[in-house]
Chain A
Amino acid sequence: MSDAIVVQARGVTRWFGAEQVLKGVDLDVPRGSVTALLGRNAAGKSTLLSILAGALGRNGGEATVFGRDVEALRPSDRERIAIVGSTSAFPGRRVRDELTLVRRLRAGRWNAEREAELLARFKLPLDKRIQQLSKGQQARVRLLLALSCEPELLLLDEPAMGLDLFARRDFLESVIELVASEERTVVIASHLIDDVERVADRVVFMRDGLAEIHGSVDELRERFRRLRLRLPSPERALPEDALPAELLGVERVLPAEGSEQVVILNDHSPGLVTAIEERTGGSQVAAARMTLRDIYFEVLREAGEEVRA
C-alpha cells in the first residue's frame, strides 16, 4: 500500500444479527482528498465509518488507516484521526468542561491557537450545557473539538444533520478551511448531495452494502451520460428490465418516447454507444453529461422511484 492512500478497505463485511449491512466494501481514500460517501439512510455509511475509526469490529475483509489495520492502531495513530457525528456524546456537560477534557486527552496534538480562533468565531457560550445550545451551536462544538485536535484524517458522519441552511453553510466553510490547511484527508458520509457537491473531489456511492460506483467528480461526470437514441421504430426499443449482458455500462433504460429512447450510461464509451446502436438499429441523437446531482438520483434511486429532482 502506498503512502498516498490514507484509508483502504477491501471486501469489508459486517453483520448485525441476521442482517448483512456491509457486503464486501472496497474503498481507497487518497491523502489530501475530500471523499464523499453518499448513500441513503441505512446504506451502511455509518457502519463503515465506525469500522474505519476503529470503533466497531468487522466480520471480514481488510481495513487499514495510515497503512495499519484499524483494529491494531497505536494511540499515536488514533490521535491523528478525528470523527465527528451528528450528536454529542455527553450532552449534559458544560462546553468549558468538554473542552478541558478533550484538550487533556489529545494533549499531544492540541492546537490552542486554533481553539482560540474558533471559539472567537463561533461565539460559543462556555458556561452552558451542550444540550442547552441550538443544534447549529452543538455542531460547532463538535467541529471545534475535532479541528483543534489537528487530525490528519477527519471522518464526518452526517455532520450537518438537523442544521438549518445557514448553519450548514457555516459548517461547509469550516470544512473548506480545514482542507485548505495542508494535506488533510476528509471523508464525509451524507445522504444529502447538497452537503458534499461543493467540497468533494471524490465520490463513493454506497448501495446494497457495496461501494461499487466511485471516482473523482470529473471522472463520474465523464462516465455518466443520458444517451438519447432515435429508433427506426418504437418496437426496436431496448427492454427496460432484461438488459443483454454485452451492454455493460448501462445504468438504466427508460421507456421509449415514441421513436426515441433515453438510456442512462454509467460507463460511457464510443464502443458502448455503437453496441446500443447496433442492437436497436437506432442512432445517437445526444449523449449529454449529467450533473453530480442527477447522477446521485440515478444511482441511489430504488426501482420505480421518480428520479427527477
Chain B
Amino acid sequence: MTLTVGLSDPLDFDSDVPVHEQIAQRVKFAIGRGAFAPGAQLPSVRGLARDLLVNPNTVVRVYRRLEAEGLIYTRRGKGVFVQDAAADRCQGDGEALVRRALRDAVELAGRAGIRGKELERLWKAAKEEA
C-alpha cells in the first residue's frame, strides 16, 4: 500500500491487510497529505461504501475507530469531519508504516544473508529506481 492511494481507489481483496485496515490507512494518508484539511468533511458512510463496493458496516467500523483515535469527529445528522490536530498525527502514522516496511526489508535481507555494504548498495539502488 502506498501513501498516495486515494480514498476511493479499488481495494485489494487478496492482500494480507484486512479491508477495514486498508480503508483506515487510506483515510489517514489522505488526511496526512492534506487532501482533507482540519474541519473538512469526509465522505459519508454510504457514499464511501458505494464507491469502494463494501459493506457499509465496514466503513462505520473504520470511522468509529478513527474517532476513538481522536482523528475525526461525528456531528449527528451532518457527517464526519477531520479533527484539528489530525494531519500531524496521520503523517506520524505514515512514518511508522515506512519504518515498519524498512525493518521488514532489513529482516528479509538478513535471512537472505545480505548485510552491511551489500545492503547499503541495495538501498541506494532502490532509491534511484523509485
Chain A residues engaging chain B, CB cutoff 8 angstroms: 32-34, 169, 172-173, 176-177, 179-180, 197-201, 217-218, 221, 288-289, 291-293
7 A-B pairs, CB-CB below 8 angstroms? A177-B50, A179-B55, A200-B55, A201-B57, A217-B19, A218-B18, A291-B15
Using A177-B46, A180-B49 as known contacts, say yes or no to A32 and B13 having CB atoms under 8 A apart: no
Are A197's CB and B13's CB within 8 A? Answer: yes
Contact of B53 among A179, A198, A201, A218 (CB under 8 A): A198
- Chain B interface size band reads 10 to 19
- Taking CB atoms, residues of chain B closer than 8 Å to A198 are 13, 53-55
Chain B residues engaging chain A, CB cutoff 8 angstroms: 13-16, 18-20, 45-46, 49-50, 53-58
Contact of A169 among B53, B55, B57 (CB under 8 A): B53
Min C-beta distance of B128 to chain A, whole Å: 31
Min C-beta distance of A153 to chain B, whole Å: 16
Measured CA separation A198–B23 after assembly (Å): 13
Are A176's CB and B50's CB within 8 A? Answer: yes
Min C-beta distance of A190 to chain B, whole Å: 15
Minimum CB distance partner of B12 in chain A: A291
- Taking CB atoms, residues of chain A closer than 8 Å to B50 are 173, 176-177
Min C-beta distance of A184 to chain B, whole Å: 10
Minimum CB distance partner of A291 in chain B: B14
Contact of A173 among B15, B53, B57, B58 (CB under 8 A): B53
- Taking CB atoms, residues of chain A closer than 8 Å to B13 are 197-198, 291-293
Min C-beta distance of A290 to chain B, whole Å: 9
